[in-house]
Amino acid sequence: MPHRASTKSGERTVQLADLDKRYVWHPFTQMSDWNDGRPLVIERGEGSYLIDTDGNRYLDGVSSLWTVVHGHGRAEINDAIRAQLDDLAHSTLLGLANVPSVHLAHSLVDIAPAELEKVFYSDSGSTAVEIALKMAFQYWQQRGRPDKHRFISLVNAYHGDTVGAVSVGGIDLFHGIFGKLLFDTIQVPIEVGALEKVLDEQADGVAAMIVEPLVQGAAGMLMQPDGYLGEVARLCRAHDVLLIADEVATGFGRTGKMFACEHEGVSPDLMCLAKGLTGGYLPLAATLATREIYDAFLGARGDNKQFFHGHTYTGNPLACAAALASLRLFEQEKVIERVVVRAEQLRVLLQERIAPLKAVSEVRQRGLMIGIELGVEGAGYDVCQRARHYGVVVRNLGDVVVLMPPLSITEPELAILVSAVDLSIQDVLK
């Protein structure tokens, strides 16, 4: 029986909720809706659970927006951050190096696809994407091919919310309104023939193609057919177009491999990492590049060939220390092997409990990335709100209920998660 959260709020919770409504503007949120509701105020995290200011426990079914890897409050990561804090909280990478950012870059290059040899840090998935786009653009300028300045992106793509990332995005609901602000891209459907045609005709004007490998997350967990990514990589290479793999959502074990590109033996030219990089503890991102790209930015001082980009908190030592601790846990706990087992357990549960429901039109899964498509318009939000009653926090993308539990979730917790979603769908769509 899933845990039922209490419906009473203590005085402190009411006060915090009132202050939140007075002062905080929440992302992707209709605030008039929010202000009519009763927000959960989260105070603590423990393993797979979030705990609110009234002491109610909620299974974190979306890993605090796809970030938490080894659970909340992992001693190993907490200790690493504390130890780093005693040495240094921040120092810039503009003109200086720092200890954990050196070690982390080394570790990332070790585990990344073979041809990625250099690490450029930033702070969010969006900035990792902006950097990849600007690197690709400047690369061709400096290779003497300035006409190669456009980008190919996929329909339903999501690469973040800054203006460059939105330009290569393809979700109308998020991106449509900003149309006049964006640069023009070549959008292709997920279909090898269509890409081949575009490349045959326009590759001379294209700097790079950007893809979310295997799974388009924010679009609602849309799965690409097997072999598609491999074909994209082959075609891009054959046409002298760089391939940018946006692994912000799929990276760090989510799909059952460390990086989704590994499923198809693909080594992209640029790779964007963020969300799970620090295990979900601190904001940090990285754009990995090949030596060939890096070398195009070398020259004499005064040649002005360096990469003109850098954020203030680039390579923050606390965040890098958290990421290093997270990578150590991947090894110590054989996390990838466990994810494969958990994904299979979850698949069975979803087949038993969710797929047969009349209100469910499709269940999509890759590793621990799951989209439950409801056949009823507008129900996704209500189902997710209802799940709180059963002690589970999940978040919908339109009519899709997303499950993205921490990679550390246990088998009994998976059963709680699926049971709560099952009951919520039945309650809302009886």
Shortest distance in whole angstroms from residue 168 CB to ligand PLP: 10
Q: Give the nearer residue to ligand PLP in terms of CB position, either 126 or 224.
A: 126
Shortest distance in whole angstroms from residue 288 CB to ligand PLP: 14
Shortest distance in whole angstroms from residue 260 CB to ligand PLP: 10
Please say whether the beta carbons of 369 and 190 come within 8 A: no
Q: Give the nearer residue to ligand PLP in terms of CB position, either 218 or 402.
A: 218
Q: Give the nearer residue to ligand PLP in terms of CB position, either 140 or 158.
A: 158
Residue of closest CB approach to ligand PLP: 125
Binding residues vs ligand PLP (CB under 6 A): 124-126, 129, 158-160, 212, 217-218, 246, 248-249, 274-275
Distance between CA atoms of residues 80 and 408, nearest Å: 19
Number of neighbours of residue 252 by Cβ within 10 angstroms: 29
Q: Give the nearer residue to ligand PLP in terms of CB position, either 141 or 162.
A: 162
Please say whether the beta carbons of 377 and 223 come within 8 A: no
Helix (H) or strand (E) holding 228: helix 228-238
Distance between CA atoms of residues 424 and 5, nearest Å: 14
Shortest distance in whole angstroms from residue 371 CB to ligand PLP: 13
Distance between CA atoms of residues 281 and 73, nearest Å: 9
Q: Give the nearer residue to ligand PLP in terms of CB position, either 98 or 156.
A: 156
Distance between CA atoms of residues 283 and 277, nearest Å: 9
Query: What Cα–Cα distance (Å) separates residue 294 from each residue in 140, 143, 155, 220, 237?
Result: 12, 12, 29, 34, 17
Shortest distance in whole angstroms from residue 124 CB to ligand PLP: 4
Shortest distance in whole angstroms from residue 412 CB to ligand PLP: 28
Distance between CA atoms of residues 289 and 232, nearest Å: 18
DSSP conformational letter for 72? B
Q: Give the nearer residue to ligand PLP in terms of CB position, either 56 or 250.
A: 250
